[in-house]
Amino acid sequence: MREALILVLGVIAIAAASVAAIGVIVDFVAPRIPPEYEVRWFSGWFGADQQPAEPEPRVEALSEVLDRISAHWPDSAYSFRVRIWDEPEPNALALPGGTIVVTSGLLDAITSENELAFVLGHELGHFRNRDHLRGLGRGIGFSLVLFAIGIGGGGGAAQLAAVSGQLTQRGFDRGQESAADEFGLGLVVAEYGHTAGAADLFEHLSKPGETSTLASYLSTHPLHTDRVDRLRAAARAAGWPLRGERRSLDSALRGAADPKAGSELPD
């Protein structure tokens, strides 16, 4: 039993240390990959070129908002495009190559253009920080680590090693999300002159009782309530107005959500 315990702990330690090392290497390499190489390598991955059966006006209206928001990042080396995936879960993704994916569930949840602009700005923040490449690199690296140390299948040691590696990656992910939030908030201010509406989606998606420290640690994204607090603090620190008018969504983008947000980034 003692030898088995030492073996299991050793495997866990190796997995965690390896993933941490991979994270450092990926964080060094990813920002140094020229965007033109990234586009050449990844533009056809993940089915990004395949647009699901969504009404074309919805895609065009979404692209128009993205174009206006991304124009406030003049140093961008990307040519961005947007895709809509027919998925009920509210989500948005930054895919290598310059593609932003928005799910139909997210479009159904938003209630203003300001809210949508922040979501798109957040994904642009991931491109600015090359987080999409960092996440891809860590995922591939972690899989290679498990393969290299001979871990596979559903054994207890394999599961513990996988959990330890995933937890090691969580801290990186939460930090990236917070940085992308701040960048997206700046783009919203550049477009509308205030931050009102930026945090509305988190208000819509917040769940009662979402205050557990353990839940916050295990989540790749900060808790919705934490994100609202951080956005408010960032806006005040930068001197950005919290109040302002929300711009109505284009009729093609209006979903099923009931407007219930206030007139400013919540206090």
The set of catalytic residues is: 123
What amino acid is encoded at 73 in this protein?
W
What tokens appear for 190 in the block?
């550049």
**Cα separation, 133 vs 115, whole angstroms:** 26
The DSSP letter of residue 88 is S
Shortest CA distance to 185 belongs to which of 228, 219, 216, 220? 228
Q: What is the dihedral of CA 117, 89, 131, 173, to 10 degrees?
A: 120
Buried b (16+ CB within 10 A) or exposed e, 224-261: bbbbbebbbebbeeeebebebebbebbebbeeebeeeb
**Contacting residues for 67 by C-beta, under 8 A, at least 6 apart:** 80
Answer yes or no: are the C-beta atoms of 228 and 31 closer than 8 Å.
Answer: no
CB 213: neighbour CB atoms within 10 A?
8
What amino acid is encoded at 113 in this protein?
E
Angle among Cα 238, 98, 197 to the nearest 5 degrees reads 35
CA 14 to chain CA centroid, nearest Å: 28
